[in-house]
Amino acid sequence: MSNKLIKVINLAAGYDGTPVIMDITFHVERGEIVAIMGPNGAGKSTLLRAMLGLAKIFSGSVEILGYSPERDLSIIRKLVGYVPQRENISLNIPIRVKDVVLSGILLRRGPLSLPTKKDMLRAKEVLKSVGLPKDLWSKKFSELSGGQQQKTLLARALISRPRILLLDEPFSAIDIKSQREIMRFLDMLKREEGISVLLVVHDINEIADYIDKVILINRRMIAWGKQSEVLTPENLKEAYGAEVEVIIYRDKCLALIGDRHA
Ligand SMILES: Nc1ncnc2c1ncn2[C@@H]1O[C@H](COP(=O)(O)OP(=O)(O)O)[C@@H](O)[C@H]1O
Ligand SMILES: [Mg+2]
């Protein structure tokens, strides 16, 4: 079997009658951690959503483990764990940590499914594996810190043992210590289970050691490949324009100043 878990060729995708992103071509190999970067509104979330059948594919193709989101959506949703942008998740509903994690399997089984003993054990196991203490199990999700919420959402995505993880801005508004813990955990998943991770990030500096490749987009693909090839002053200017100041030191992108979510 090919080692390319994700293949995207000349993709144009968006909503209703208009593509948001165009000419996107890249692939992700087994056990690769790939960062998607680009300014606000570049279409980063749309790219992830197109892989899950949540945005419309206008032309080109997406293949995930040989399956197409246009034909094989239910299979793809089993193989792929997805954590949407946290700002799009309603955080005020009084749901407990265990229910968030269990929903990762129960929602797939259909309405009114109840967890089995095995599900409970698996939920505890996966919560522990992302580094959350046992006593959070019955806590309200809304009472957790940003880092703990992100780890809980990661546990929810992992409970069904996906082969691929799509994480949309997992590090927005969380502290650097949690960022590093999550990155180390993803790196372990990649090494031990060959899981591939595609994650949208704004600042690559803190996690650069863990990133195998970068996809830089602004509606169109600007570059895809190794950090040193993609994060060049020319490419970054093309992606971010005058919105940001880019600090490059010895060929490494140290900072993008000015491009932050409100
Ligand atoms: N559900 C939607 N329906 C219509 N347009 C959308 C929808 N979601 C996003 N868009 C538009 O697509 C463009 C790219 O958005 P998005 O993919 O969220 O960018 P990014 O994640 O890079 O900030 C934006 O102009 C946005 O307004
Ligand atoms: Mg987004």
User: Between the CA of residue 64 and those of 92, 169, 221, what are the distances in Å?
Assistant: 34, 21, 19
Query: Residue 167 pLDDT more than 60?
Result: yes
Give me ligand 1 centre to Cα 20, in Å. 7
Q: Which ligand is nearest to the CA of 84?
A: 2
Strand 80-83 versus strand 164-168 pairing type: parallel
Say how many residues make up the chain: 262
> Is residue 189 within 8 Å of residue 164, measured between CB atoms?
no
Our answer on whether the CB atom of 211 is closer than 6 Å to any ligand 1 atom is: no
Give me ligand 1 centre to Cα 12, in Å. 13
Our answer on whether the CB atom of 154 is closer than 6 Å to any ligand 1 atom is: no
pLDDT digits (tens, 9 = 90+) for 73-103: 999 999 999 999 877 666 667 889 999 999 9
pLDDT digits (tens, 9 = 90+) for 18-41: 999 999 999 999 999 999 999 999
Give the class (CATH, top level) of 4-90+162-257.
alpha beta
Q: For the chain, where are the E strands, in sequence order?
A: 4-15, 18-29, 33-37, 56-64, 80-83, 164-168, 196-200, 213-218, 220-225, 245-249, 252-257
Residue 166 backbone class (left: φ over 0; alpha: ψ -120 to 50; beta: rest): beta
Our answer on whether the CB atom of 43 is closer than 6 Å to any ligand 1 atom is: yes
Give me ligand 2 centre to Cα 138, in Å. 30
Instruction: Tell me the β-bridge partners of 56.
Output: 14
